[in-house]
Amino acid sequence: MGLRPANRLSSEQSPKSKLFLLKININTEDKHRYNSRLKSQLRVFFMIDKKVLISGGGIAGLTLGILLKEKGWEPLVIERDTAVRTEGYMMGFFGTGWDVADRMGLLSDIKKVHYPIDYLEYVDWNGDPHFPAVPIERVRKAFRGKFAFLRRPDLEFILFNRALASGVRIRFGTTIQSIKEEENGLQVVFNDGTMSAFQLLFGADGVHSNVRELIFGPESQFARYLGYYVAAFHTPNHDYCIGRSLEIYEEPGRIAWFYPLDANCMDAVYIFRHDNVGYLPHEKRLAFVQEQFDGADWIAEDTLKKVSSSKPIYFDAMEQIVMPDWYKGRIALLGDACGCLTLTAVQGSHMAMAGAYVITQELERYSGDYQSAFTTYQQFLKPFVDRKQNDAIRFAGQLVPSSRTKMVFRYPLIRLIFNKFFLSHFLNLLGAKSILVNYS
Q: For residue 193, what pLDDT is reported?
A: 96
**Strand intervals (E) in 60-198:** 74-79, 90-93, 119-123, 134-135, 148-151, 169-172, 176-182, 185-190, 195-198
- Same domain for 107 and 88: yes
Mean pLDDT of the chain: 89
Q: For residue 320, what pLDDT is reported?
A: 97
If you average pLDDT over residues 81-90, what whole number do you get?
90
Confidence band of 35 (pLDDT split at 50, 70, 90): low
Residue that wins the pLDDT comparison between 5 and 134: 134
Give per-residue pLDDT as tens, 182-239.
Answer: 989 999 999 999 999 999 999 999 999 999 999 999 999 999 999 999 999 999 888 8
- Same domain for 422 and 348: yes
Q: With residue 327 as reference, give the H or E element that holds it.
A: strand 327-328
- Same domain for 403 and 302: yes
Instruction: Judge whether 11 lies within some domain.
Output: yes
Instruction: Judge whether 1 lies within some domain.
Output: no
If you average pLDDT over residues 385-412, what whole number do you get?
90
Which residue range(s) make up the domain with 33?
A: 6-45
To the nearest 10°, the Cα dihedral for 267, 268, 269, 271? 180
Neighbours of 302 (CB within 10 A): 13
Tell me: pLDDT of 78 over 90. yes
**pTM for the structure as a whole:** 0.88
Tell me: pLDDT of 6 over 50. no
Confidence band of 5 (pLDDT split at 50, 70, 90): very low
Residue 202, CA distances (Å) to 72, 139, 194, 223, 401 in order: 16, 36, 19, 20, 39
Contact between 120 and 149 under an 8 Å Cβ cutoff? The reply is: no
Instruction: Judge whether 440 lies within some domain.
Output: no
Contact between 89 and 151 under an 8 Å Cβ cutoff? The reply is: yes
Phi/psi class of residue 280: alpha, beta or left (left: φ > 0; alpha: ψ in -120 to 50)?
A: beta
If you average pLDDT over residues 259-287, what whole number do you get?
93
- Same domain for 199 and 82: yes
The CATH number assigned to the domain holding 126 equals: 3.50.50.60
- Same domain for 151 and 17: no
Instruction: Judge whether 438 lies within some domain.
Output: no
Residue that wins the pLDDT comparison between 427 and 275: 275
Instruction: Judge whether 392 lies within some domain.
Output: yes
Q: For residue 95, what pLDDT is reported?
A: 95
* Total number of domains constituting the chain: 2
- Same domain for 105 and 15: no
Which amino acid is present at 240?
Y
Tell me: pLDDT of 312 over 90. no
Confidence band of 311 (pLDDT split at 50, 70, 90): confident
Q: What angle do CA 141, 158, 347 make, to 5 degrees?
A: 50
Q: With residue 290 as reference, give the H or E element that holds it.
A: helix 282-292
- Same domain for 225 and 81: yes
Tell me: pLDDT of 322 over 90. yes
CA–CA separation, 246 vs 259, rounded Å? 5
Instruction: Judge whether 436 lies within some domain.
Output: no
Contact between 282 and 313 under an 8 Å Cβ cutoff? The reply is: no
Q: For residue 24, what pLDDT is reported?
A: 37
- Same domain for 66 and 27: no
Confidence band of 246 (pLDDT split at 50, 70, 90): very high
Residue that wins the pLDDT comparison between 180 and 310: 180
Tell me: pLDDT of 43 over 70. no
Largest pairwise CA distance in the chain: 82
Confidence band of 16 (pLDDT split at 50, 70, 90): very low
Closest among 335, 327, 60, 15 to 201, alpha carbons compared: 327
- Same domain for 214 and 96: yes
pLDDT over 90, % of the chain = 75
Confidence band of 47 (pLDDT split at 50, 70, 90): low
**Strand intervals (E) in 193-301:** 195-198, 200-203, 223-235, 245-251, 254-260, 266-273
- Same domain for 27 and 161: no
Instruction: Judge whether 423 lies within some domain.
Output: yes
Instruction: Judge whether 439 lies within some domain.
Output: no
Tell me: pLDDT of 17 over 50. no
**Strand intervals (E) in 56-173:** 74-79, 90-93, 119-123, 134-135, 148-151, 169-172
- Same domain for 121 and 206: yes
- Same domain for 139 and 99: yes
